[in-house]
A and B are shown apart, each in its own frame.
Chain A
Amino acid sequence: MAIIDFKHVDKFYGGFHVLKDINFRVNGGEVVVIVGPSGSGKSTLIRTINGLERINDGSLIVDGKDMTDKSTNFNELRRDVGMVFQHFNLYANKTVLENIMLAPRIVLHRPEEENHKEAMRLLEEVNLVEKANSYPHQLSGGQQQRIAIARSLAMKPKVILFDEPTSALDPEMIQDVLDVMKLVAQEGITMVVVTHEMGFAREVGTRVVFLADGEILEDSDPKSFFDHPQTKRARQFLSKVISH
């Protein structure tokens, strides 16, 4: 069964039609990469999946929960659907360790000792044990993003959404973050990733979705998408990003 299921989804910002008749589903364990020109609605699309943005029409089921139903508890849904942002959004008033331990403590009521152990394990996984007691502003962008991924993983989510996780990073930091994301994929966590890193899409993605002007124009496996794009818009887009 699909863990994310969009059926005829529309969204408007005032009079502006930002998502147009979106149909797509993501199965457990998939790594779906969303690409498309700036302003095409990628962030809006991914943010509807955890309810940071609401849809206006159609149906959206995430982890069995109806996202258009008023009685759906979004806080509960977000325990199972994590998100990693372009600008990290780490808690500025908390240390790295506290960033990772806060939600498991106050949302999942994980016992303190277990919580600490798990956080330290995650810090090892993202290779930042020595930063446990630092504050976010003392870290580089790449380090902050790896902590943000660890913070997300600490909730043991079924899905993690990534909205351009490497776009705000200096080039030499990008690979470290992509490597951690690859680890997440290998753990079998379902991923939806908005990115301009075509190498990642090709190597780790199980599917690529191409969005332009709020419409899904292509939805295929990475190899077909990169080698044989079906639409003119996708060919134009690819020639631009690849020449860069």
Chain B
Amino acid sequence: MWQLFTQNWQDFLTGFWHTILSSIIALVFSFILGSGFAILETNPNKFWRGVAKVYVEIFRNIPLLVVTMFFYLVLPKVLPAMNGFTAGTIGLTLYTSAFIAETVRSGLQSVGTGQMEGCLANGLSYWQAMKNVILPQALKITIPPLGNQFINLIKNSSVLAFVAGMDLMYQGDVIASNTFQTIPTYIIVGIFYLILTLPLSYYMQYLEKKLA
């Protein structure tokens, strides 16, 4: 197995790097999108609540692979084609954002209407209240479940393999089919995923204890 690694380390690291890159990009954008849609879901305006609801229900209830294939195979029929990495990362972002929206929404709702009324009565606008008082409290409550979403996101990034997205899983597939050393290859791939997710998982457990 060590030999397998030393002979293919560049490909493994390329995959590792693409997995990290895709995860970080998807993490940042799914967090922004998810928080945005969570705010819309709690908005007093019915129209915006409806828009957010539709978005969340769509991306939460379609398999990630289908969302990704849509960007990889369907969209290029009307728009310029994108490579597998881009399509996969977009799919991953939208899919994860729906789950983050649900997580942040429940955090927002747990803050309680009194905080918003206190802000408004004090002269703050709705957005000033969100930014300074409501969101900070909601996000604090949301940290542990968000951490779990991020761990899921890293694991789900393996969807990139289906669209030749250069990620860890994809490189593993390539190496396995070239060397016929299927089992050791996927053990190495698994170890790389653990390197990413285990520290995060422990850190989340630590945070959860600290915030409790």
A residues whose Cβ falls under 8 Å from a Cβ of B: 50, 52, 74-75, 78-79, 82-83, 85, 87-94, 102-103, 106-108, 148, 151-152, 155, 161
Contact = CB atoms under 8 A, between A and B. Distances in A.
Interface string B117-146: 111111111001000110011001000000
Interface centre among A74, A75, A88, A92 (most CB of B within 10 A): A92
Interface residues of B, number: 17
B133 A78 contact: no
B118 A102 contact: no
B115 A89 contact: yes
Given A93-B133, A93-B136, A102-B132, A75 B125 contact: yes
Contacts of B114: 85, 87, 89
Contact of B117 (A74, A89, A93, A152): A89
A83 B123 CA distance: 10
Interface of B: 114-115, 117-125, 128, 132-133, 136-137, 140
B133 A94 contact: yes
Interface of B is mostly: helix
A148 B114 CA distance: 13
A181 B136 CA distance: 31
B123 A79 contact: yes
Given A92-B137, A93-B137, A94-B133, A103 B124 contact: yes
The 8 closest A-B CB pairs, nearest first, are A89-B118, A83-B121, A89-B114, A79-B123, A103-B122, A107-B123, A78-B123, A91-B133
A94 B137 CA distance: 10
A155 B122 contact: yes
Contacts of B117: 52, 85, 89
A65 B52 CA distance: 34
B165 to A, nearest CB: 40
